[in-house]
Amino acid sequence: MTSMISSLTHGGSKLPWVSITLAATSLVLFAVFGGKPEAFIYDRELIENGEFWRLATGHFVHLDHQHLLMNAGALFALGFLYETSPHGGARRLVLGCFILSGSLISFALFLGDPKTQFYCGLSAILNTLYVVTMVAMWRETRSRVWLVGLGLLIAKTGYEALFGSILSDNLEWPPHIGAHLTGILAGILLFVFGLFEMALSRLRRSYVGALRPSQAC
C-alpha cells in the first residue's frame, strides 16, 4: 500500500487546484445561498421559460450540508488522485469531465425526463470523473484494484436502480439514477475519445516520419 501511494504522489503537483476550485465553488454557493437555492437549482419550468443558466448551476448547488460534504469530499479525493498522480491526466481533462458530463446530464434530464422537475448536486458528474480516474490508473499501472473500483461504482448504481439509495437515504430528493448512468456514460465516452485521439496522434507521427527523407552516413 505504501508503494502504491508513493507511486501515485511521486513527481506530481502538491495540490489538485482544479478540483479544489470546483469544490470551493459549491462550498461558497452553499455558504452564501444555503441549500437548494431557488435561483440556481435545475428547475424545469423556469428553464423552459428561458432561465438556461440553471442547466449549469444546478450541478454546483446542493440540498443540505450532508449532500454538499459528501460531494465536495468525493471531488477532492478524486481530484487529488487524478491531478497529482503521474498516472493521471492533464488538469484540463478535469474541466473536460465537468463540461462534457454536465452538458450530457442536463440535456438528458431536460430532453429525456420531463417528469423530473427539480435536480441539483455534483454526484452524477463525479461518476464521470470516477470512471476516467479508474480507467487512467488501470491503463498506466495495470493493477486490478482500479478495475475493482470501477466495478464497485457500476454495482452501486445498479443496486440503487433496483433497491434505492445506499448513502443518501436522508436526503430530501432521492438520487436520480438516470443522471448517474449518464455520468458513467460520459466517462466511457471520454475514455473512448482519448483512445481515438491517441491513435490519431500515433498515425500523424508515423505519417510525418514516412515523409522525412532517410539519412545515411
For residue 27 the three cell numbers come to 462550498
Please, what are the averages of pLDDT over each run of 10 residues along the chain (217 residues)? Answer: 39 73 96 96 97 97 94 92 70 80 95 95 95 88 92 92 77 86 91 64 58 50
Instruction: Report residue 3: phi and psi, to 5°.
Output: -65, -35
- What per-residue confidence (pLDDT) applies to 88? 52
- What per-residue confidence (pLDDT) applies to 27? 96
Q: 42 - beta bridge partners?
A: 119
Task: Compute the CA torsion angle 110, 114, 115, 120 (nearest 10 deg).
Answer: 10
For residue 68 the three cell numbers come to 454538499
Burial of 194 (0-12, 13-18, 19+ CB in 10 A): middle
Q: Which residue has the cell 454526484?
A: 123
- What per-residue confidence (pLDDT) applies to 197? 59
- What per-residue confidence (pLDDT) applies to 104? 94
What global pTM score does this model have?
Answer: 0.81
Cα angle value 95/92/136 (rounded, 5°): 95
- What per-residue confidence (pLDDT) applies to 2? 38
